[in-house]
Amino acid sequence: MRAAVFRTEKRKLAVENVDDPTPGPGQVVIKVHRCGICGSDLHMAEGHTFSFDDGAVPGHEVSGEVVARGPGVDSVKEGDRVAVLPFVSCGQCDACRQGDPMGCPQAKMMGSFGITGGYAEYLLTNAIWCVQLPKSLSFEDGALVEPLAVSLRAARVSGIRAGDRVLVMGAGAIGLAAAYWARQSGAGSVAVSATSTRREDMARAIGIDAFITPEEDRTLAEQSADALGAAPDIVFECAGVPGSLDQAVSAIRRGGMIASPGFCWTPDSFTPLMAMLKQATIKFTNVYDTREFEIAVGALDNGNVEPRAMITDVVNLDSAPDAFEELRGRNNQCKVMIKPW
């Protein structure tokens, strides 16, 4: 099969022929129809803390069609349209049976540890990590499920309630998804902060109330309090850059919650004293489970399809290396998807 392969010599992708996957017990082969390019893929290409090995096939925001099944698979069949949790695991432990891939000691994420990701025509996964797509949803919708599930985990952990004032830091896919879930959860007002207005229209399409960019002589805490009418009850830290946690602590109300699905790839520091004085809670979140994939699919199926505004381009496999390079620099894209077929 053909795939976009990462080569460490030039730190770039190249389209090459690689081995076709063969399913073992409990496994399926997916024909990839869409795979989103994630910011973490771009970071790994730069070698920030974690890096792709030579020959890795990146991609973990996948939707596609089941085309082959291994022994013992009866939960899906050939032809099923699915969104895929991007793991290969043992399939037998308590964590696997409970739909918690990161709890499996043998779990490996697509694009790393020799596991082929979604920048390819086919990929291998466990049948238990396939979530059915209803007929109302496209494969593009299916590839949005993974980033939506990342932010859904943060929203669930935050304890968000109807009427809450919410600040989302960062207007990338994870930040926009957090704003979406805040609105779905009944937040009273939602503001998104970013370094520029490049993605303001996307954020407005999702239903936010205010879009904040830096102003001279004004802090984010001041701007967000003005935009929301008071200090936020909840801050979703989705920027993942040094200094973000300190800004989140400064902005949150006393007793508020900071949920962080964004992750900083370099050492960061913040002032614990300020968090203590505010009695702020900070919770870091990591990926998702099958239930969160199902909730995300259900929200889209119910007609809440505002996240489609995040999709800015779809490219074929031959164009994937150039699209990937464009995203590594400053650009006006948000969610670019690869269409291998």
- In DSSP notation, 177-204 reads HHHHHHHHTT-SEEEEE-SSSTTHHHHH
pLDDT, one tens digit for every residue, the chain (341 residues): 999 999 999 999 999 999 999 999 999 999 999 999 999 999 899 876 778 999 999 999 999 999 999 999 999 999 999 999 999 999 999 999 999 999 999 999 999 888 999 999 999 999 999 999 999 999 999 999 999 999 999 999 999 999 999 999 999 999 999 999 999 999 999 999 999 999 999 999 999 999 999 999 999 999 999 999 999 999 999 998 999 999 999 999 999 999 999 878 788 888 899 999 999 999 999 999 999 999 999 999 999 999 999 999 999 999 999 999 999 988 999 999 999 99
| Residue showing tokens 């926009």 | 176
Distance CA 3, CA 251 (A): 44
Which of 121, 88, 94, 80 lies closest to 106 in space, CA to CA? 88
**E strand map for the chain:** 2-7, 12-17, 27-36, 61-69, 81-84, 87-88, 108-109, 122-126, 130-132, 165-169, 189-193, 210-212, 234-237, 257-260, 281-284, 311-316, 335-339
| Residue showing tokens 């004032």 | 165
321: Cβ contacts below 8 Å, ≥ 6 apart: 4, 12, 13, 14, 15
